[in-house]
């Protein structure tokens, strides 16, 4: 099913100075993400700034903690704004970290067609509105981003003044295994919800 033609828009934003990812990504209290305007979008846009070739597939899923579903819908809109061709999401937004690593590598068998993954996890830390939320980036080899990339993400996050998004893309039903196609500008964009087993 092809939807209407959607357009990317550029939103002004204010940078944050505390978005330095560690080895397990950016981990904060959930309210930091929910209560600060564009906190999530800034960090995702900074990932795209640090990884130049975004016109590829991107895996986005997490461990199912509180706010996971909301974050995925917002990341889909930003990814579309930066020219990602397809976002692949586990059913209900769920994929384990090893499953995501395997999926990235399976998408890159003949050529690097997948730029990596955005993982929504705070590892063993408790989830919930008053607990922890995390976001990290895995590279095309399936592994966590090396320090050179996390440093580039951090540097971009401290100076970001705008980000792209496609606000008119409707929320995708993550409970159903399906492919949903959109047209963004003159390009095709697809969200694929896959069986996570």
List the catalytic residue out of 15, 101, 106, 123.
123
Give the three-state DSSP class for 1. coil
Dihedral angle, C-alpha 186, 52, 75, 60, nearest 10 °: 110
CA–CA separation, 40 vs 88, rounded Å?
A: 19
192 catalytic residue (yes or no): no
CA–CA separation, 126 vs 112, rounded Å?
A: 35
| E strands in 30-151 | 57-62, 86-90, 114-120, 132-138
Residue 179 CB coordination number (10 Å): 13
Positive or negative CA dihedral for 67, 68, 70, 71? positive
CA–CA separation, 126 vs 36, rounded Å?
A: 21
Identify the bridge partners of residue 117 per DSSP, sorted by sequence position. Answer: 59, 138
Residue 122 CB coordination number (10 Å): 23
Catalytic residues: 123
């Amino acid at each position: 099913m092809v939807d209407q033609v959607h357009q990317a828009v550029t939103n002004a934003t204010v940078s944050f100075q505390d978005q330095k990812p560690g080895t397990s990504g950016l981990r904060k209290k959930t309210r930091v993400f929910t209560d600060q305007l564009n906190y999530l979008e800034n960090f995702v846009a900074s990932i795209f700034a640090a990884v130049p070739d975004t016109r590829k597939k991107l895996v986005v899923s997490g461990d199912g903690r509180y706010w996971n579903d909301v974050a995925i819908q917002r990341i889909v809109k930003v990814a579309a704004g930066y020219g990602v061709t397809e976002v692949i999401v586990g059913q209900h937004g769920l994929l384990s970290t090893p499953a995501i690593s395997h999926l990235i590598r399976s998408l890159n068998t003949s050529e690097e067609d997948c730029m990596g993954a955005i993982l929504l996890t705070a590892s063993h830390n408790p989830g919930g509105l008053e607990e922890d939320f995390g976001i990290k980036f895995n590279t095309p080899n399936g592994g966590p981003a090396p320090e050179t990339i996390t440093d580039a993400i951090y540097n971009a996050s401290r100076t970001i003044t705008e980000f792209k998004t496609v606000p008119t893309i409707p929320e995708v039903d993550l409970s159903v295994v399906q492919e949903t196609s959109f047209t963004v500008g003159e390009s095709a964009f697809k969200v694929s919800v896959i069986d996570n087993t």
